[in-house]
């Protein structure tokens, strides 16, 4: 029977891995703390729904621009240097947004803001790809790499709740500019943590293409990619309607429950069970939000969301790793990252651009996307994965 054991190796958790995992936590936090805060600030400036949509989604589009060049750069130059340059440029763009708001005092040029968010997405995407797809993989032994991928991605997953939580708290107690400064601080700390790590020297490959799919998109993973996009579009839609710090605190609690479930409930379970359980749990959460108005729903629903996405994220990540061939682990990591972020961006676009923030419509969209995802996974994707996996 196919099971989903992930071996635990104590030797993985050394100072180098802790530094890189925390760097990933801070880097993702720098992005996600802006997702719920930017719409609040723009609505305060009387921006239109389409302006909000364009500013939010330009970031996710930007993540694709330099992905095809990342393999060449990390082979031709020092891997840590590529990350450093990318994060410094990310820092510069975020500071540009800060000064744009500070100087214009709310009368922001939205075309310039869209451009800056697009460039911000470019360097955030490149930084994430280099960190997850190269640096973390190259610092651990081959036997530990699956666990390293799993653990590092969990740090990023916690940022999905920690980032908005911290951003909203700072926004409500201070202002939007302070949130931008905090995002810059997270980027700086992420860079410093990576700079503390020494990486082994590696000769560049002789035959290097300036543009390739290596470390960018995994060939033959399109159906799994689509399934993740459908699932995470629900997450993006939910992020668009919740601006309560308590909601994100409870999602983090749900993530902790998911970690325990992986360790005890799903340790030797059938391969299909984790993904199906995650989808059903998310469905329960959306149905509660649609059909119940009790105060307890506000506590139960976000915990279920965290639980559902916790177990789903781990399962789909492992699927990508097992679909990859020799020397394609970094490519599988980056493809998973892009699928996840693409779904979040689509969910935000649908919520603000199509439904104009109307909660009931957004929740019905979530329920529809969930049903399609569940049918798609059970009816096609799982059997397709079993047939095409390489590991």
- One digit per residue, pLDDT tens: the chain, 391 residues? 344 444 444 477 888 889 999 999 999 999 999 999 999 998 888 889 999 999 999 999 999 988 777 777 877 788 888 999 999 999 999 999 998 887 765 556 888 999 999 999 999 999 999 998 888 888 887 777 888 888 889 999 999 999 999 999 999 999 999 999 999 999 999 999 999 988 776 656 656 666 666 667 888 889 999 999 999 999 999 999 989 999 999 999 999 999 999 888 777 777 788 889 999 999 999 999 998 888 888 899 999 999 999 999 988 998 998 888 777 788 888 999 999 999 999 999 999 999 998 999 999 999 999 999 999 999 999 999 999 888 6
pLDDT value for 5: 47
DSSP-assigned letter for residue 205: P
Distance CA 155, CA 139 (A): 17
Q: Is there a contact between 101 and 120 (Cβ–Cβ < 8 Å)?
A: no
Distance CA 234, CA 365 (A): 8
pLDDT value for 9: 47
Q: Is there a contact between 236 and 345 (Cβ–Cβ < 8 Å)?
A: yes
- Give the DSSP letter string of 26-38: HHHHHHHTTTTHH
Q: What does the CA dihedral 322, 331, 346, 374 come to, rounded to 10 degrees?
A: -10
pLDDT value for 108: 63
- Residue ranges of the alpha helices (H) in 326-379? 329-349, 359-376
Distance CA 173, CA 353 (A): 28
Q: Is there a contact between 311 and 42 (Cβ–Cβ < 8 Å)?
A: no
Q: Is there a contact between 107 and 47 (Cβ–Cβ < 8 Å)?
A: no
Distance CA 278, CA 282 (A): 6
Distance CA 199, CA 211 (A): 25
Distance CA 166, CA 389 (A): 39
Q: Is there a contact between 140 and 12 (Cβ–Cβ < 8 Å)?
A: yes
Distance CA 17, CA 34 (A): 27
Distance CA 23, CA 49 (A): 34
Q: Is there a contact between 313 and 153 (Cβ–Cβ < 8 Å)?
A: yes
Q: Specify the pTM.
A: 0.91
pLDDT value for 22: 95
DSSP-assigned letter for residue 142: G
- The number of residues making up the chain comes to 391
Domains of the chain: 12-200 (1.20.1250.20), 217-391 (1.20.1250.20)
Distance CA 7, CA 176 (A): 43
Q: Report the candidate in 334, 62, 357 with the shortest Cα–Cα distance to residue 239.
A: 357
Q: Report the candidate in 187, 340, 346 with the shortest Cα–Cα distance to residue 332.
A: 340
Task: Provide the token pair at 58.
Answer: 């330009």
Q: What are phi and psi of 255, to 5 degrees?
A: -60, -40
Query: Quick one: 60 exposed, middle or buried, by C-beta within 10 A (0-12, 13-18, 19+)?
Result: buried
- Residue ranges of the alpha helices (H) in 131-244? 136-138, 145-173, 176-195, 222-241
């Amino acid at each position: 029977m196919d099971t989903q054991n992930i071996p635990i190796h104590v030797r993985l958790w050394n100072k180098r891995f802790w530094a890189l995992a925390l760097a990933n936590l801070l880097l993702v936090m720098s992005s996600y703390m802006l997702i719920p805060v930017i719409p609040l600030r723009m609505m305060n400036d009387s921006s239109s729904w389409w302006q909000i949509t364009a500013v939010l989604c330009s970031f996710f589009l930007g993540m694709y621009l330099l992905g095809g060049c990342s393999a060449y750069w990390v082979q031709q130059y020092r891997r840590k240097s590529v990350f450093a340059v990318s994060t410094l440029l990310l820092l510069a763009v975020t500071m540009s947004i800060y000064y744009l708001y500070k100087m214009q005092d709310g009368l922001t040029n939205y075309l310039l803001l869209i451009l800056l968010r697009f460039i911000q997405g470019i360097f955030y995407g490149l930084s994430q790809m280099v960190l997850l797809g190269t640096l973390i993989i190259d610092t651990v032994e081959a036997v530990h790499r699956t666990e390293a991928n799993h653990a590092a991605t969990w740090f990023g997953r916690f940022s999905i709740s920690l980032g908005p939580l911290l951003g909203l708290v700072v926004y409500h107690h201070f202002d939007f500019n302070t949130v931008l400064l905090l995002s810059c601080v997270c980027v700086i700390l992420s860079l410093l943590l990576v700079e503390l790590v020494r990486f082994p020297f590696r000769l560049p490959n002789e035959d290097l293409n300036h543009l390739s799919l290596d470390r960018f998109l995994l060939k033959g993973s399109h159906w799994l990619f689509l399934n993740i996009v459908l699932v995470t579009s629900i997450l993006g839609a939910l992020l668009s309607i919740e601006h309560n710090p308590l909601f994100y605190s409870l999602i983090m609690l749900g993530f902790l429950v998911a970690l325990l479930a992986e360790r005890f409930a799903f340790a030797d379970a059938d391969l299909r069970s984790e993904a199906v359980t995650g989808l059903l749990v998310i469905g329960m959460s959306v149905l509660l939000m649609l059909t119940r108005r009790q105060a307890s729903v506000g506590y139960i629903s976000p915990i279920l969301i965290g639980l559902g996405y916790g177990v789903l994220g781990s399962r789909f990540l492992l699927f990508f790793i097992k679909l990859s061939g020799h020397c394609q682990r970094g490519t599988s990591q980056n493809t998973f990252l892009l699928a996840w972020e693409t779904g979040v961006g689509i969910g935000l676009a649908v919520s603000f651009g199509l439904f104009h923030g109307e909660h009931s419509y957004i929740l019905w969209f979530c329920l529809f996307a969930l049903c399609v995802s569940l049918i798609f996974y059970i009816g096609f994707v799982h059997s397709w994965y079993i047939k095409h996996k390489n590991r």
